Amino acid sequence: MSGFILAAGAEGGSQIPLIIEIAIVVLSGFLGFQLISKVPNTLHTPLMSGTNAIHGIVLLGGLLVIGVASGFVNDLILVIAIAFGTINVVGGFLVTDRMLEMFKAKKDDEQ
Amino acid sequence: MTFASFVQDTDFINALYIVAFSLFAIGIAGLTGPRTAVRGNRVAAVGMAIAVVATLLYEQVGDWELIAIGIVIGAVVGVPAARTVKMTQMPQMVALFNGVGGGAVALIAWAEFRDRGGEGLSQLEFGIPLVFAAIVGSISFWGSNIAFAKLQELISGKPLKIPGGVFLNLALLAIAVGCGIAILAGSDNELLFIAILVSAAILGNTFVLPIGGADMPVVISTLNAFTGLSAAAAGMALDNIALIVAGMIVGASGTILTQQMAEAMNRTIVSVLMGGFGGEAPAVAGPGGETGGTVRSTSAADAAIQMAYARQVVVVPGYGMAVAQAQHAVRELGKALEGRGVEVKFGIHPVAGRMPGHMNVLLAEADVPYDQLKEMDEINGEFGRTDVSLVIGANDVTNPDARNKTDSPIYGMPILNVDDSQSVIVLKRSMSSGFAGIDNPLFYNPKTQMLFGDAKASVSEIVSELQGI
């Protein structure tokens, strides 16, 4: 039994119909455009760092696949993938937080 | 229905995913304002925690000790890196975090191929996104590493000419896509998959190496979008809505950011990514060179006197301020001038430093009041009323050639019109050219005086001179 089918949580194939997936892709693309286009220049670096952290969600892929993959090499590849994903998530959010705290501290000074 | 079967139900997990990506959207919306940004980032982080926990509920998730090893390694590497990185090194840190994300996507795709083989990938709704994820993830990983190495100055920031240029890149892409098609057609030869990863890896290198360091923000932003798209593709292959939605949001945001950055430099994304500029242009013409004219140098004492009796001083920071870690000294200077009744403003060019907002982050770190930071459009009208413009380690963003020299590589780029002010003081290490590798006639302008030396030392010196006035 393949990892993919198990990961999908359904027997014999894709759990979400392709056309629904494509709809999700298109709509979330528009959502991304709408959300981002309003960000002021000042916050671009933290924003980039923050969205960077969000694509660390690939970590989930590693978590899903490692349980069903077998063999030393697969396990090794996936442990590295999970480590990479974790670095992306944890590092990304922490760094963004550090940057933004500076803006916040300054705000308080003004008040 | 037992508790266990309830929480392991796919609908329940997907409901948690919906909560998670809603929090991502709310978080990003929060990031659009300085007041809500900290909370926004934390909201997104909570969303991520929910997504991770939800995934661990899946019945088939196993190999807990391996998962723990991976997460511990990631945390041990990521947390200290994020905690200790200097604000000046933020751009390359973002590049690195972006790269490992892309690397994770490529590795997951590889493991899935090994697990399922070509037969599995010949189901196109699974195979196509997986091959896409492998190619784009690998490009993003290697491209980001090169961007990191350039910004960290491990390798030269100058563009490196690659023989074959665009054609080589197209050939590499063709190899990757060709191998992908062979796999989609049913081949389960692992060498084909490795060939995809390797050719995409080389492409990541040859794609970023010819691009000059000045364009790295655009490159990182592009690669950020790439990683997002590859994550979304992996989500389609794995039928995971959290991956699809989060990946696409990042893909879209990265694209917008890329566009905005390219626009700020009056260049198209295509011209940036095709490489060149930033070294290709004739290098420095030095004093008395092509641009002619003489350079007048000044002393800290003289600079202090000029600013002390000014009504308005506009500080224009650039990457040189970041390199010299001069932001705190600059804040001191601002305070000292304000204490004497001088109006102090900061003119921030959208691409000053190595990332949009880079200067804002540094000045915020040094507690410069938010309302003193002026964006380019806002400050450009002010230079006419400004007595002294103090340019600290900025170069290309003040280059008048961008306005009037049509054959200049930066012609058309909006700049800060510091030469409209009464006088200009430029703090600079030497007469070397900026990151774009071109000469700056501002330095030969009769209004301009140069104060050579390390920016931090120079600023501190000016501050102590000010106290003596």
Q: Do A64 and B73 touch (CB under 8 A)?
A: no
Domain match, B47 and B192 both: yes
Give me the residue label for tokens 């784009």: B136
| Residue B346 · residue B72 · CB < 8 Å | no
Q: Name the A residues in 24-53 with CB < 8 Å from any B CB.
A: 24-25, 28-33, 35-53
Here the CATH number for the domain that contains residue B306 is: 3.40.50.1220
Domain count across chain A: 2
Select from B273, B308, B334 the last residue of a domain. B273
At B382-399, the pLDDT tens digits run 899 999 999 998 888 888
Domain match, A97 and A111 both: yes
Domain match, A47 and A2 both: no
For chain A, say whether B383 makes contact (Cβ under 8 Å). no
Domain match, A62 and A34 both: no
Q: Is residue B137 part of a domain?
A: yes
Domain match, A59 and A91 both: yes
At B197-254, the pLDDT tens digits run 999 999 999 999 888 777 787 888 899 999 999 999 999 999 999 999 999 999 998 8
Q: Do B108 and A18 touch (CB under 8 A)?
A: no
For chain B, say whether A1 makes contact (Cβ under 8 Å). no
**What span, in angstroms and rounded, lies between the C-alpha atoms of B10 and B12?**
5
Quick check: A109 pLDDT over 70?
Answer: no
- For the residues B276-294, what does the mean pLDDT come to? 44
Domain count across chain B: 2
State the residue range of the domain holding A24: 1-38
Closest chain A C-alpha to B10 CA, distance in angstroms:
7
Least confident span in B106-110, B202-206, B350-354, B377-381: B350-354
Instruction: Give residue B168's identity as a one-letter amino acid code.
Output: L
Domain match, B384 and B457 both: yes
For chain B, say whether A15 makes contact (Cβ under 8 Å). yes
Q: How many residues does chain A have?
A: 111
Q: Which residues contact A42 (CB under 8 A, 6 or more apart)?
A: B34, B348, B357, B360, B373, B375
**What span, in angstroms and rounded, lies between the C-alpha atoms of A5 and B321?**
54
Domain match, B73 and B193 both: yes
Q: Which residues contact B234 (CB under 8 A, 6 or more apart)?
A: A58, A61, B105, B108, B109, B129, B130, B133, B137, B240, B243, B247
The predicted structure's pLDDT at residue A38:
58
**What span, in angstroms and rounded, lies between the C-alpha atoms of B239 and B143?**
27
Domain match, B229 and B115 both: yes
pLDDT band at A29 (very low <50, low <70, confident <90, very high): very high
Quick check: B151 pLDDT over 90?
Answer: no
The predicted structure's pLDDT at residue A4:
43
Q: Do B82 and A81 touch (CB under 8 A)?
A: no
3-state secondary structure of B42: helix
Domain match, A62 and A96 both: yes
Q: Is residue B291 part of a domain?
A: no
At B442-452, the pLDDT tens digits run 888 888 999 98
Domain match, B26 and B162 both: yes
Give me the residue label for tokens 């491209």: B143
For chain A, say whether B66 makes contact (Cβ under 8 Å). yes
- For the residues B77-101, what does the mean pLDDT come to? 90
Contacts of A72 in chain B (CB under 8 A): none
The two tokens of residue A71 are 């063999």
For chain A, say whether B364 makes contact (Cβ under 8 Å). yes
The predicted structure's pLDDT at residue B437:
64
Domain match, B304 and B413 both: yes
What b/e readout covers B331-348, taking b as 16+ CB neighbours within 10 angstroms? bbbbebbeeeebbbbbbb
- For the residues B95-116, what does the mean pLDDT come to? 94
Q: Is residue B346 part of a domain?
A: yes
The predicted structure's pLDDT at residue A39:
64
Q: Is residue B292 part of a domain?
A: no
- For the residues B10-24, what does the mean pLDDT come to? 94
Domain match, B210 and B311 both: no
Domain match, A47 and A84 both: yes
Distance of CA B381 to the CA centre of its chain: 28
At A47-101, the pLDDT tens digits run 888 999 999 999 999 999 998 888 899 999 999 999 999 999 999 999 999 888 7
Give the pairing of strands B312-317 and B388-392: parallel
Phi, psi of B209 (to 5 degrees): -55, -40
Q: Is residue B18 part of a domain?
A: yes
Domain match, B103 and B199 both: yes
Phi, psi of B186 (to 5 degrees): 120, 0
State the residue range of the domain holding B392: 300-468
Q: Do B78 and A91 touch (CB under 8 A)?
A: yes
At A18-27, the pLDDT tens digits run 899 999 999 9
CA distances from B384 to B307, B311, B450 (A): 16, 12, 20
Q: Is residue B289 part of a domain?
A: no
DSSP B338-379: HHTT-EEEEEE-TTSTTSTTHHHHHHHHTT--GGGEEEHHHH
At B403-432, the pLDDT tens digits run 888 777 777 778 899 999 999 999 988 776
| DSSP letter (8 states) at residue B33 | S
Beta bridge partners of B451: B427
Domain match, A34 and A65 both: no
Stated pTM of the model: 0.79
B401 as an active site residue: the answer is no
